[in-house]
C-alpha cells in the first residue's frame, strides 16, 4: 500500500512539473502623457505554475525628459481567457521607479498575449487601475490609453 501511495505522489508531482515552466521576457515601454515622453526597458524572469497563474520579477531602467530612473517590477499574472493562441490576462503588479524621488504604482494591468509557438509569445499591457505614490501622497491611478503601451517578448523554457 505504501508503494502505491508513493508511486501516486511521484506521478502527481511529475504532472505538476510538466505543466509548470520558467520564462524570461523583455519589455519595452513607450509613452507620452501631457508634455512627458517616457521610454523604459525591463527584462524579467518568472515562473508559470499552470495555465492560469504565473509570477514574475522585472528589473530595468527608464528615461523621462532629462533624467534616467531605475525600475523594480514584481507581478502576479492571472489568465482570464485563452483559446490556445490568444490570451487575456490581468496582472497585479507593484512597479517602483527611483531616481531622486521614489514613485510607486500598485494595481491591476490588463494584458493581451499571443502565442507564436510553444516557446515564444508576444504581449501588450494597456494601462493601470490602482494607486500611485509620489512623494508620500497616494492617489488613484487609472488609465487605458494608447499613449502608454508596454510590449513584451516572452520565451518559455
- Residue 26 confidence (pLDDT): 93
Compute the residue count for the chain: 157
pLDDT in tens, 142-155: 765 554 678 999 99
Using CA atoms, how far apart are residues 67 and 77, in angstroms rounded to an integer? Answer: 30
- Residue 97 confidence (pLDDT): 80
Domains of the chain in start order, with CATH, are 22-156 (2.40.160.20)
pLDDT in tens, 5-34: 455 444 444 444 455 799 999 998 887 755
Using CA atoms, how far apart are residues 107 and 86, in angstroms rounded to an integer? Answer: 23
- Residue that the C-alpha cell 511521484 belongs to: 10
Greatest Cα pair distance, the chain, in angstroms, is 71
- Is the pTM higher than 0.95? The answer reads no
Amino acid at each position: 500500500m505504501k508503494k502505491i501511495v508513493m508511486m501516486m505522489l511521484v506521478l502527481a508531482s511529475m504532472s505538476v512539473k510538466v505543466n509548470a515552466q520558467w520564462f524570461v521576457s523583455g519589455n519595452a515601454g513607450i509613452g507620452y502623457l501631457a508634455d512627458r515622453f517616457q521610454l523604459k526597458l525591463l527584462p524579467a524572469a518568472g515562473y508559470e505554475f499552470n495555465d492560469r497563474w504565473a509570477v514574475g520579477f522585472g528589473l530595468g531602467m527608464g528615461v523621462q525628459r532629462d533624467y534616467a530612473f531605475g525600475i523594480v517590477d514584481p507581478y502576479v499574472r492571472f489568465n482570464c481567457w485563452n483559446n490556445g493562441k490568444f490570451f487575456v490576462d490581468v496582472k497585479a503588479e507593484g512597479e517602483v521607479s527611483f531616481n531622486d524621488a521614489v514613485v510607486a504604482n500598485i494595481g491591476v494591468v490588463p494584458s493581451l498575449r499571443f502565442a507564436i509557438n510553444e516557446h515564444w509569445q508576444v504581449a501588450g499591457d494597456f494601462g493601470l487601475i490602482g494607486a500611485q505614490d509620489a512623494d508620500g501622497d497616494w492617489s488613484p491611478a487609472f488609465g487605458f490609453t494608447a499613449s502608454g503601451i508596454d510590449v513584451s517578448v516572452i520565451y518559455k523554457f
